[in-house]
Amino acid sequence: MRRREFMLALGGVAAWPLAARAQQPDRVRRIGVLTGLGEDDDEARAWFAVFADALRHLGWEPGRNIHFDFRFAGGDEERLRTYATDLVGLAPDVLFANGPQALLALHEKTRSLPIVFAQVADPVKLGVLANLARPGGNVTGFVLFEHTMASKWLELLKDIVPSTSRVAVVFDPQNPFQVPYFQAAEVAASSFRMQLVRAAVHSAVEIEGAITSFAQEPEGCLLVLPSTPALIHRDLIIALAAQHRLPAVYPYRIFASSGGLISYGLDAADNYRRAASYFDLILKGTKPGDLPVQLPTKFELVVNLKTAKMLGLSIPDRFLQNADEVIE
C-alpha cells in the first residue's frame, strides 16, 4: 500500500457527529509522523489507523481539520534521520515519534515543536527527559515496556521449557536502548541458570546467520527484543525458529498470531489509541511538558498452541489459563 492509498484508508472511516466537529477550529492542523517501519507493513498501518480513528472520536477528521505527514524509514537509519529533518522543516503542529530512534532523531532536530512518542521504553535513560511525571520541554508520550520486562520473558521461557540452558537474545545493535534489556536479562538468567548469547542483528542476512549458528547446539531458545528490525523481519525470524525447532518468546502479539510460540507485552494498539488524547490536548493549547509520560497499563499473553505442538512442547494448563489468548 503506497502513501496515497494509506492516507485514503485513514480518511475512509465514517464521519463523527456534527457536535464533535463543531468543537474544533476550522483551520487544518498538521501532525508529522516518523517511524522506522515500512510503508507496506500491515502492523504499522493497523496501529496508525487506530490512532487516526481515536482522533476522529475527539473531533479531528482528516480532510477537514487535520492532516498527516507520514514518513516511513523502512529500517534505514540514514533515511530516518533525513526524514526527521524533512518533517521538522514542515513545522507541523505536533510530531509523532514511533520508537526510540525516531524520538532521538526528532529531538535532535527540534527543541520547540511538540513531540509525542509511542513505542519507547525509557525516555529518561535515552536522555530526552529528566522526569516522567514532569517532562518539561517539548516531549511527552507513552512508554512501551519497562526494561525489567526482559526478566519476565525469560521466566516465560523457563515455564514452558524447563530444560532451557541457552537463550539467544535477538537485538538491534543500532538501537541505543537495548543495553538495559540485557542488564535485566542477565540478572534473571543467573537465577534461571541460563546462558545468554547475544545475537546482534539488523538485516535479514544477519538474522539468518545468527539464528542458524545458535541452533547448532542443543537446549536453545530465542528471546526477541522489541526493535524495528525484528518487526520488519518477523516472518523470517518465526520461520527460522520453526525450522530449527527453537522455542521463542516475542514482545508483540503479531509474532504469536503469525506463527510464533508465545508473545507477552503491551497491547500496542491501545498505546496508539491512548496517544490520541495527548495530541488532542496539545492541539488545543496544552504544553507537552505539562503532560506526564504515561506508563503501560494493558499487557497480553498470547500462546500459539499449534506452534507448541509442532515443537513437541506440552504447555502446562496453568500457563494456558493465564493466557489472554490461545491460538489453536
Where are the chain's structural domains?
3-144+267-297, 149-266+300-327
pLDDT score of 9: 42
pLDDT at 21 over 50: no
pLDDT score of 126: 82
CA distances from 83 to 202, 205, 256 (A): 20, 25, 31
pLDDT at 208 over 80: yes
- Residue 167 carries which side chain, given as an amino acid letter? V
For residue 230, how many C-alpha atoms fall within 13 Å in the half-sphere facing its CB? 27
pLDDT at 17 over 90: no
- What is the pLDDT confidence band of residue 307, given thresholds at 50, 70 and 90? very high
User: Regarding beta strands 166-171 and 195-200, do their DSSP bridges make them parallel or antiparallel, or are they unpaired?
Assistant: parallel
DSSP letters, 79-121, are HHHHHHHHHHHH--SEEEEESHHHHHHHHHH-SSS-EEEEEES
pLDDT at 190 over 50: yes
- Higher pLDDT: 184 or 11? It is 184
Q: Which three cell numbers stand for residue 254?
A: 503479531
pLDDT at 26 over 90: no
- What is the pLDDT confidence band of residue 14, given thresholds at 50, 70 and 90? very low
pLDDT score of 10: 52
Region of poorest pLDDT, from 23-32, 81-90, 279-288: 23-32
Q: In what order do the strands lie in the sheet with 115-120?
A: 66-72, 29-35, 94-98, 115-120, 139-143
Domain over 3-144+267-297 is classified CATH 3.40.50.2300 = yes
- The whole-model pTM stands at 0.88
| pLDDT tens-digit series, residues 222-277 | 999 999 999 999 999 999 999 999 999 999 999 999 999 999 998 888 889 999 99
- What is the pLDDT confidence band of residue 3, given thresholds at 50, 70 and 90? very low
| pLDDT tens-digit series, residues 44-76 | 999 999 999 999 999 999 989 999 999 999 999
pLDDT score of 178: 85
pLDDT at 291 over 80: yes
- What is the pLDDT confidence band of residue 12, given thresholds at 50, 70 and 90? very low
pLDDT at 24 over 70: no
On the question of a common fold for 3-144+267-297 and 149-266+300-327, the answer reads yes
pLDDT score of 230: 95
Q: Which residues pair with 69 in a beta bridge?
A: 32
CB atoms near residue 183 (< 10 Å): 11
Instruction: State the DSSP code for 201.
Output: -
Phi, psi values for residue 115, rounded to 5°: -125, 130
CATH dotted code for 149-266+300-327: 3.40.50.2300
pLDDT at 181 over 70: yes
Place of cell 527540534: 110
